[in-house]
Every structure is written in C-alpha cells, then in structure tokens.
Amino acid sequence: MSSAPRTLEEPPQDHYLRRELYALVQSDHRIFEFLQAGSLDGIWYWDVTDQDQEWMSPRFKELFGYSDEEIPNTSRWWQENIHPEDLQLALDNFAAHMADPGHPYDQIVRYRHRDGSDVWVRCRGLAIRDDDGNPIRMLGAHSDVTELMQARAQLEGAEERWRTAFQGAPIGMAISDMQGRFIEVNRAFCEVLGYEAEELRDLDFSAVTHPDDVDAGHSLLEAIVAGERETVQIEKRYLHRSGRIIPAVLSVSAAHDPDGTPRNLIAQIEDSTERKRAEAELLRSNRELEQFAYAASHDLKAPVRQLTTATELLGRHLDPALLDDKTRSLIEIMVSSTDRMNSLIDALLELAKIGGKRDDHETVNSSALLAEAGDAVADQLIRAGGEIVMPEVGVDFDGHPGQLGQLFVNLFANAITYREPERPLLITVEVERLRDGAVRFIVGDNGSGIDPAQADRAFQIFKRLDPKRAPGGTGLGLAICRRVAEAHSGWLELIPERSGSGVGTFFEVVLGRGPEAR
C-alpha cells in the first residue's frame, strides 16, 4: 500500500486511490483476475502482428456456452461464430482504429451461442502500439447486452404495434398535452379535419372546434384535469379546415404518470356527419310513411263506405220475389266484409296517427289512466267474469292520454279475449318509477298465454295468433300498443320468464326513456 499523503486539492486523475489501484494492478494479479472474471463478460488479447493468435478469457468462452478448453485461442473461432454482418462491422472498425487511434473500436455484435441462440455483446477494444506508434496488440472486452437488446426489441415491437394501430385506426385519434395542444395525430384525425399532421401539431383543440363548443371543451378538460372524470364522451362540432362544420362524437381519456398525475389526453373522434344525415333521412322517410299510410287509409275509407251503403240499398231495392235466403245471406256477407274492411282501415289510421310528436303531451296520472282503461272494458270484463287488480299507488308522468289509454284498453281487451276458460280471469297491473325517471308498467294475466317463441309474431301488423278466438280482431292491437310505447320514448315487450302457453301473458311497458337504453 502506498503511504502517499492525500490532499483535497489533488486533481481527480492524481487521486491517491487511483495511483494506488494502478500500482496494484501491476503488482497483484488478483486485481486483474477480478476485473476480467467478475466485472466483464470476457477479455480478449489479440496479436496484431500474427493475427491467428488471440487469447480469449474463460469468461469470454463461457458466455457462448463453452469451457476454456473447448475453444482454441485463435481469432478464427470468433470470426466464424460472430454474425457475418457484424464481422464486417468489427473488421471495418478494426481497420479504422489501426489507422487512427481516435476512431473507437466499439460496437454491439451478435454471437451464436452453443445452443443456437443469439448472444448480444458490446465489444470494445484498444490498440497497443510500439514506440513508433505501430499497433502490435489489441486488448478488448465483452459486455453481455443480450437482455438489454431483447428488452429494446420488445419495446420497439410494442411501439411499432402501437403506431400501426394508432395510424391505421379508422377513427380519428389525437394525443395532446393537458392544455389540449396536439402532440400527435393520426391519419383519420387529419382526414376528418382536412389538415396535415404537421399543421395540427402547433394547434390546440379550440382551433378546430366550433366556437360555440369551445367552452364546453374547456370544462371537459378541467373535469379531467381535476380527476373528476376518467373518460368522457360528448357530441361536439369540429371545424374542417374549409370551415365546414363536422358533427362528431368525441371520447377523451387521460394517460397518467406512474404517480397518478394526468400527463396526456387521448382523444378519439368519430365523424357523425353520415350518421346524422342518415338519422335525418330516417326521420323524414318515417314521417313520409306515416303521412302516406294516413292518406292511403283515409282515401280507402270512401269506397268502402260507399260499397257498404250501396250493398244495403241494393238489398232493399231488390224485388222481394228475388230476395231468397241465399241472396239475403250473400248481401249479409258483403256488408259484413265491408264492415271488417272498415275496421281494418280504422286500425291502420290509428297506427299511422301515432307519431313521435311531443307537443300534445301532458301530465298523466297512472291511476287515472288505468281506471279509465278499466272502465272502457268493464262490460266485457263482467261478461267474462274477470277482475283487474290495479296498483295501489299512482305516478305522474308526461304522455298522450288518448294514446296511452288505448294502449291499456288494448292490453286489457287482449287479456279478456285470450282468457283461459278453465279459470276466472285475473288481470294484474304493477307500476313503478324507475331510477332514471322512466315509468314501468307490468300488465299480466292468467289467460291462455303466448309462447315466448311466438311473441315476435304477436307484435306484427295483421298477425292474429288465434283468429278463431278473436273473430272481430284486426290484428293491429299489439302493434298499436308497441307504437304508442315507442312514441313515448319507451317500449313494450313480452316478459318471457313470466309468460307461457297455458300460464298467462305478462307485458312490460316502459315509458319515458330512449329505446337505446333497453
């Protein structure tokens, strides 16, 4: 050990420990041994004057799966076991370093392990020169970087997969900072807004947002920054570069740092121009269809009416001598057929009249509604020996009293028509207000029931499951009920769990909620 005094002023390269270590390396072989075996993954020492000769440390060989004895100390071995492309790189660097000591001999190369796998090695070397500056030896060291390279490849793969998904996504995607300034945008995003990616990179969302929607966008950002909302979806209007308004559905989520601080916003936008157009078109064509159905049924009424009157008049005008039983019965058939045609047209008119208009809605009380519907079928009910059990409490909601009344009259009348003769008819009605404000009715009976598999048919226009039981039926009753429910932002469905052939029929009527909530 050196006993040289140490001073704080000593420059780093003259530190006493450095001097001491350098001296130790020269005097004590164990130091070098420790370095080559313990802290490096192989050392090589190459005779540049006789280039076949090269000593490789046991650790060098061990890295590739061999013992010291199994590999001869010749340069041939490594040149045959290094990846051919990397051999060229190593030889090129070697030549350059020989000519110019300032050119580093330092590269990452692949070796073939005994088991066939690749071993990634960072290989650095230094030429040792004679007094004239001619290289005579190369000293080099290996560091195993296989794990590092594998991790990098994995990361690159993940990055590549992410980029492909991002760029190729059919919906517009953008990554921005927490102020909404775009950092990265994908092709679809550019296409929706008519910009190049580079142009958007300097902008924030408000530059491409309809002025009326900018404030809403800012409050959205604030909610996300404050952590109140994780993901938000809104409909908003963007501005195309050309100034055109683009209606779109925007979903925004925050990407967080490991400590939970929101770092980036990930936005996805879906151009809904086409959907909006299709919705408007559907609304228009529905309205047209309603008008057509109404006009057609209205116009059908006149000839049917005239046929009825004319047929009856004909019967009265015929010479009594000609009016035998057969003729009389034929005239009756003609009249009853026109009667039936008239009811069908009336029912079609009813169906066509039920639109989605809200202006004629008013506050309706469920108890009053059900009581009125019950009164309307009271005679039939008494004749059938049946009973309706109404709910004890009522709820108020918005609706069209006439249409809703018809809905329940139709359901009650259906229950009476399709009762089970074996047992007294019992109709039950339940009502409850759902958490979202919608109102749910359940109308059930113990009649002959509908097989749930047949339920869809029961709702079709002109479909009567059992025409013999309802000779006067139009086959429009349930279709009308369903349309009324739908015109009240709701639906009418059979409850399959509670319905069945011979068991009874239970319908669920939900009013005051969008059909998409089903």
The CA-based diameter of the chain, rounded to the nearest angstrom, is 153
CA-to-CA distance for 427 and 419, rounded, in angstroms? 10
User: Which of 297/448 has CB closer to other proteins?
Assistant: 297
User: Which of 198/319 has CB closer to other proteins?
Assistant: 319
Pick the piece of the chain touching other proteins (CB under 8 A) from 246-254, 259-267, 294-302, 445-453: 294-302
310 binds other proteins (CB under 8 A): yes
271 binds other proteins (CB under 8 A): no
DSSP annotation string for 349-361: HHHHH-----TT-
CA-to-CA distance for 518 and 514, rounded, in angstroms? 8
Minimal distance, residue 272 CB to other proteins, in Å: 34
**Exposed, middle or buried: residue 158 (CB in 10 Å: 0-12, 13-18, 19+)?**
exposed
User: Which of 207/349 has CB closer to other proteins?
Assistant: 349
Overall residue count recorded for the chain in this entry: 518
**Long-range interactions of 292-298: CB distance < 8 A, separation 24+:** 293/348, 293/351, 293/352, 294/349, 294/352, 294/353, 297/345, 297/348, 297/349, 297/352, 298/349
Minimal distance, residue 308 CB to other proteins, in Å: 5
353 binds other proteins (CB under 8 A): yes
User: Which of 167/342 has CB closer to other proteins?
Assistant: 342
316 binds other proteins (CB under 8 A): yes
Minimal distance, residue 404 CB to other proteins, in Å: 14
298 binds other proteins (CB under 8 A): yes
Minimal distance, residue 478 CB to other proteins, in Å: 20
- Residue from 305, 361, 440, 498 that binds other proteins (CB under 8 A)? 305
Backbone angles phi, psi at 354, to 5 degrees: -80, 100
Beta strands in 200-261 (DSSP E): 231-239, 245-256
- Residue from 308, 410, 417, 446 that binds other proteins (CB under 8 A)? 308
304 binds other proteins (CB under 8 A): yes
**Long-range interactions of 498-502: CB distance < 8 A, separation 24+:** 498/444, 499/449, 499/450, 499/452, 499/455, 500/449, 500/450, 500/451, 500/452, 501/448, 501/449, 501/450, 501/451, 502/420, 502/448, 502/449
Minimal distance, residue 306 CB to other proteins, in Å: 5
User: Which of 115/359 has CB closer to other proteins?
Assistant: 359
402 binds other proteins (CB under 8 A): yes
User: Which of 39/309 has CB closer to other proteins?
Assistant: 309
Which residues are within 8 A (CB) of 437 and not within 5 positions of it... i.e. 6 or more apart? Answer: 512, 513
The 3-state DSSP composition of the chain as helix, strand, coil percent (nearest 5) reads 45, 25, 30
Structural contact between residues 181 and 201, judged by C-beta atoms closer than 8 angstroms: no
Pick the piece of the chain touching other proteins (CB under 8 A) from 115-123, 131-139, 331-339, 438-446: 331-339
User: Which of 2/309 has CB closer to other proteins?
Assistant: 309
User: Which of 228/362 has CB closer to other proteins?
Assistant: 362
- Residue from 8, 302, 321, 322 that binds other proteins (CB under 8 A)? 302
313 binds other proteins (CB under 8 A): yes
- Residue from 117, 154, 179, 306 that binds other proteins (CB under 8 A)? 306
Backbone angles phi, psi at 119, to 5 degrees: -120, 125
CA-to-CA distance for 66 and 77, rounded, in angstroms? 12
Q: Distances from the Cα of 322 to the Cαs of 149, 310, 316, 329, 334, in angstroms?
A: 109, 18, 11, 13, 17
Structural contact between residues 46 and 75, judged by C-beta atoms closer than 8 angstroms: yes
Minimal distance, residue 265 CB to other proteins, in Å: 51
Q: Look at the alpha carbons of 275, 278, 283, 284 in this order and tell me if their dihedral is positive or negative.
A: positive
Structural contact between residues 211 and 218, judged by C-beta atoms closer than 8 angstroms: no
- Residue from 108, 232, 293, 335 that binds other proteins (CB under 8 A)? 335
Pick the piece of the chain touching other proteins (CB under 8 A) from 152-160, 202-210, 335-343, 508-516: 335-343
User: Which of 317/383 has CB closer to other proteins?
Assistant: 317
Pick the piece of the chain touching other proteins (CB under 8 A) from 92-100, 186-194, 347-355, 507-515: 347-355
- Residue from 52, 177, 191, 360 that binds other proteins (CB under 8 A)? 360
Which residues are within 8 A (CB) of 438 and not within 5 positions of it... i.e. 6 or more apart? Answer: 490, 510, 511, 512, 513, 517
User: Which of 19/305 has CB closer to other proteins?
Assistant: 305
Residue in the block written with tokens 């005094």: 5
Pick the piece of the chain touching other proteins (CB under 8 A) from 70-78, 332-340, 363-371, 423-431: 332-340
Minimal distance, residue 485 CB to other proteins, in Å: 19
User: Which of 316/518 has CB closer to other proteins?
Assistant: 316
301 binds other proteins (CB under 8 A): yes
Binding residues (CB under 8 A) for other proteins: these are 294, 298, 301-302, 304-306, 308-310, 312-313, 316-317, 335, 338-339, 342, 346, 349-350, 353, 360, 402
